[in-house]
Homo-oligomer: A and B are copies of this chain.
Amino acid sequence: MSTTTQNLTGQSILAGASTEGNGRKVNGYNPATNERLEPAYSLINEQQLKLATAAAAEAFESFRSLEPSKHAEFLEAIAENIEAVGAELVARAMAETGLPEARLTGERGRTTGQLRLFAQVVRQGDQHGVRVDPALPERTPAPRVDIRQRKIPVGPVAVVGASNFPLAFSTAGGDTASALAAGCPVVFKAHNAHPGTSEIVGHAISKAVADFGLHPGVFSLVYGPGASIGQALVKDPVIKAVGFTGSRAGGTALMAAAAARPEPIPVYAEMSSINPVIFFEGALAQDPVAQAKAYLASVVGSSGQLCTAPGLVFVPTGAAGDAFARAVSGQAPETSGQTMLTEGIYNSWTAGVQALGSQDGVELLGRGTEGATENAPAPAIYTAGVEQLLANPVLQDEIFGAASLVIRYADAAQLQTALGRLEGQLTATLQLDDSDHEAAGQIIGTLETKVGRILVNGWPTGVEVGHAMVHGGPFPATSDPRTTSVGTLAIERFLRPIAYQNFPDALLPKPIAEDNPWKLTRRIDGVLQAKGE
């Protein structure tokens, strides 16, 4: 595999212009070989960052006023441009992340698919949230004047990219796509672990910006020194909201910076989750080997580097649970390590596993084998009882990578207690059959207060991008449980309502004009009208 990709400049894209950074240079590395990848990327300083944020501020007024069809076509053009890159994009992403080709090809499809899905929403226009309370001139004791409401984008958005989805949660990923769909210019900070992948996608976005004649400040891609440029970006007064996917430490640092601004702004950080899976008795009547295989596949896929990987599995004590545990022990050696994203992540995983394995009452249940590449550790499954989980917060720490903990619970009361003590999570999964409905029904209420998504059977990895998806949940899963970072509801994170009172029709913005030229769904006096009425 080539380690250099054609046409990469090693430069940031500041409002459409490839720009050499004034700071030091960094390279990507192939984590499968620890080989350095060219070109080196020059990091920008805070002064150069101002070029991006100032341009984003300038671009806001025209970008937020795009009519729906052009706005939607712009999002679709980004998707087309990404596809037009061809095999080079997946090859570069493989080299920079160690993720396998099938996974990255799928991820590219998810990335372009979500751009097109968001384009559908933009074309339909429901995100404008139009409400009309018509004038009531005869009302007593006082008449009512006409009041209309619509949502407008909040302003330029900073997006800090994730390491683990170099396409779907990176440059043109969910946060960028939803901010652009809302009408917000984006300043994107690339993850330094996949700079070339980021540049390729950045040019795909910038080409669409140029082809549609948009202000170049609609999108910038910046390479900067790790945390400090992220902090500078969040503190920039031009920026009105932040999207982030990454570690709990990284997310909480951005939350603190945003809260300390003269004008505090929202941070949408997706951070930390161990995604409890709960087995009920009835479910365990199935083939335990097949169940163990499905569990281990979910643990080791993408080397466990998924936000929704099942890090905590509750299994009842007793014969059926024992059979499952034995099956996990038996199948674990069949699993093989896969390359992790970076040497740093590999080292963190190793430290996390050592910490977990050394806790009182925690035992190794099964271990896979190391992979053939660098940074491909042997998957590790541990087990403990509810008592240990309740007594020791280390057992709730996320270990980012292929590791998981099986907790044996004695009865429904013990399970309820354990679930009630969990931190906020992205997901919880119930493994059940018809005979388990009553037991499952007793814990759903608790889970609703703890998570953003509850699954029945199946496994939480693999997040569908749709209208009903919630990829969110209470802290520390995210910084803001009122939102999702996957699915079309994500667009609403970057909108705010405005009321227009007693406006002459000539001055009303098009989305709320009396003759409804954009044919939007409207809520009139509290009642949703059929589309375009």
Q: Which of A121, A454, A458 has the most CB of B within 10 A?
A: A454
Contact A468 B502 (CB under 8 A): no
Q: Which of A60, A149, A468, A501 has the most CB of B within 10 A?
A: A468
Q: Is the interface of A mostly helix, strand, loop or mixed?
A: mixed
Per assembly, the copies of the chain total 2
Contact B149 A468 (CB under 8 A): yes
Residues on A facing B (Cβ under 8 Å): 60-61, 106, 117, 120-121, 124, 126, 131-133, 141-142, 144-145, 147-149, 152, 154-155, 255-256, 259, 263-264, 266, 424, 434, 437, 440-441, 444-445, 448-449, 451-458, 462, 464, 466-470, 472, 474-476, 479-484, 488-489, 495-504, 506-507, 509, 521, 523, 525-528, 530-531
Contact A470 B149 (CB under 8 A): yes
Q: Which 4 A-B pairs have the closest CB atoms?
A: A470-B499, A149-B468, A131-B468, A259-B259
- B residues in contact with A124, CB < 8 Å: 526-527
Complex Cα spacing A60 to B448, Å: 12
- B residues in contact with A530, CB < 8 Å: 530
Contact B144 A464 (CB under 8 A): yes
Contact B458 A145 (CB under 8 A): yes
- B residues in contact with A482, CB < 8 Å: 154, 266, 495-497
Q: A478: shortest Cβ distance to chain B, in Å?
A: 10
Contact B470 A507 (CB under 8 A): no
Contact B507 A456 (CB under 8 A): yes
Partner of A489, one of B149, B448, B474: B149
Complex Cα spacing A145 to B459, Å: 12
Partner of A440, one of B106, B259, B489, B507: B507
* Closest B residue by C-beta to A423: B263
Q: Which of A60, A451, A499, A502 has the most CB of B within 10 A?
A: A499
23 CB contacts below 8 A, A to B, read: A60-B449, A61-B445, A117-B526, A131-B467, A133-B468, A145-B458, A147-B468, A149-B467, A149-B469, A152-B448, A263-B424, A264-B479, A266-B482, A448-B498, A453-B498, A454-B498, A456-B502, A456-B504, A468-B523, A469-B499, A482-B496, A482-B497, A528-B531
